[in-house]
Amino acid sequence: MILKKRKVAGIAILLVVAVLALLFTARFAKVVAFEDLEQKLELYLRALEIVKNEYIEKDVDNTDLVYGSIRGMLEALDDPYTRFMEPKAFHEMNIRMSGSYSGVGIYIGIKEKQLVVISPIEGTPAEQAGLKAKDKIVTIDGKNTKNMALDEAVSMIRGQSGTEVILGILREIWEEPRDFKIVRKQITIKSVKSKSISDDIYYIRLNTFENQNAAIEFAKAVEKAKNGGADGLILDLRNNGGGLLRIAVDIASMFIREGVIVYTVDREGRRETISSSGDVIWDKPTVILINEASASASEILAGALRDNGVATLVGTHTFGKAYVQNVRKLDDGSAILLTVAKYYTPAGHDITEKGIIPDVLVELPEVTTGEAEESVFDKEENEDKDDLQLNRAKEVLEKKILDKFKLKAIFERPF
């Protein structure tokens, strides 16, 4: 009995020693890491001192040096969406979220370290000038965009209404870039367009998730569908470059009574789940249209509705851009947009790595007209009869409606 107690005591002591050793190791590693950072900061301060004391121009602006240092630090992370925004750019971003700003009307992003057009916004100067999804922006007013930060590009493209910006565009089918002269104007983003396209089917096009009122406008469109007696809904997310996560969650909750909308995984592997609020206003058959210019919040919404079994996706593979970002405002009005996690669909698909793959693939044929090449959808978006993806979505939705009626008839059959 005494030996058994001694053995238990010995094991307990060993466990305590092991825990203390782990704590000491972790603490030691933190101390070493901090000391290493201190040494690097001393190196930086020494370099700053040399620049201030020896550079040929005496009056180097301190703000320029600090901002440049912050940009360099963030660029070292090799993440195009983690970026520094000067006070003016950060202020403009907040204005854009209200649904109105001055510019050309395009969503831009980084793809394979190249500045690209995610999508032009409908009815804006960018669309009217002929810019297309996947166009590479190689110059802005003659300045090469290679290694250009995203916020710098956005700031250069935006500007006072009535002024001109020249974008050097390289399209996949062109051998050389071409200049597009675009006159900026006040951009007011209309979030939703909707209409009845048959006795049974209602169509809602969601243009952006950036407008704070997008979910309210969307809900009103759904009510029109219900009041009109529609049995099915087509939600068009093509060329929607995304925006606010909150809007995507609010809209997803209009379809999903109970379940996960999206979840995130951070640097420690911790998982955080965002679930539906259950405020369902539509429970009838639904089809979602997506394409290569559907990004960010569009991908989150499409993935949520598909994985929860409430919608079928039709179109082409999406852009693949969905990082969780924290906005950290600094004391002078500038800000850091920092990637802190990744978004995953309810079924566990990494949106940023793979994008969203449709259930029904419908690629648009390309037709050559002179020097340019454009898809049927780009050429005549307003004519439904020429929109192959929309026509396929109708077919899929009509079958879903028919299947639901058949199922309902079976359950309502008297026994």
Q: For the residues 61-72, what does the mean pLDDT come to?
A: 91
Q: What is the DSSP letter of 40?
A: H
Average pLDDT, the chain: 85
What domains does the chain contain, in order, with CATH numbers?
83-96+100-187 (2.30.42.10), 190-325+336-409 (3.90.226.10)
**Cα(100)–Cα(29) distance, rounded to whole angstroms?**
49
Burial class (CB in 10 A: 0-12, 13-18, 19+), 101: buried
Annotated catalytic residue within 119, 253, 276, 296: 296
Q: Tokens 């620049």 label which residue?
A: 51
Alpha carbon 413 to chain centroid distance? 47
What integer pLDDT is reported at residue 282 of this predicted model?
98
What integer pLDDT is reported at residue 2 of this predicted model?
52
Torsion, CA 276, CA 279, CA 285, CA 288, rounded to 10: -60
* Contact assessment for residue 312 and residue 359, using Cβ atoms and an 8 Å cutoff: yes
**Phi, psi dihedral angles at 25 (to 5 degrees):** -65, -45
Segment 153-178, tens digit of pLDDT: 888 998 889 999 999 999 999 999 99
307 is a catalytic site residue = yes
Annotated catalytic residue within 135, 151, 307, 387: 307
What integer pLDDT is reported at residue 16 of this predicted model?
46
321 is a catalytic site residue = yes
The confidence band for 400, taking pLDDT boundaries of 50, 70 and 90, is: very high
Segment 82-104, tens digit of pLDDT: 989 889 888 877 776 666 678 89
What integer pLDDT is reported at residue 354 of this predicted model?
81
296 is a catalytic site residue = yes
332, pLDDT greater than 90: yes
Burial letters for 255-290: b for 16+ Cβ neighbours within 10 Å, e otherwise? Answer: bbeebbbbbbbeeeeeeeebbbeeeeebebbbbbbb
Q: Tokens 């963030």 label which residue?
A: 74
What integer pLDDT is reported at residue 99 of this predicted model?
62
For 146, residues 6+ apart whose C-beta sits below 8 A from its C-beta are 138
Considering the entire predicted model, what is its pTM?
0.73
238, pLDDT greater than 70: yes
What are the start-end ranges of the H helices in 296-358? Answer: 297-307, 351-354
**Cα(317)–Cα(365) distance, rounded to whole angstroms?**
15
Segment 273-285, tens digit of pLDDT: 999 999 999 999 9
Give the E-state strand segments of 104-231 in sequence order. 106-111, 114-120, 136-140, 143-144, 164-170, 178-183, 185-188, 192-196, 201-206
20, pLDDT greater than 80: no
Look at residue 329 and give its three-state secondary structure: strand
Annotated catalytic residue within 136, 284, 321, 400: 321
Q: Which of 339, 323, 324, 341 is closest to 267 using CA atoms?
A: 341
Q: For the residues 314-319, what does the mean pLDDT come to?
A: 95
**Cα(91)–Cα(107) distance, rounded to whole angstroms?**
18
Q: For the residues 376-401, what does the mean pLDDT come to?
A: 76
148, pLDDT greater than 80: yes
Helix axes 245-252, 214-227, angle to 10 degrees: 20
Segment 190-222, tens digit of pLDDT: 789 999 999 999 999 999 898 888 999 999 999
For 378, residues 6+ apart whose C-beta sits below 8 A from its C-beta are 132
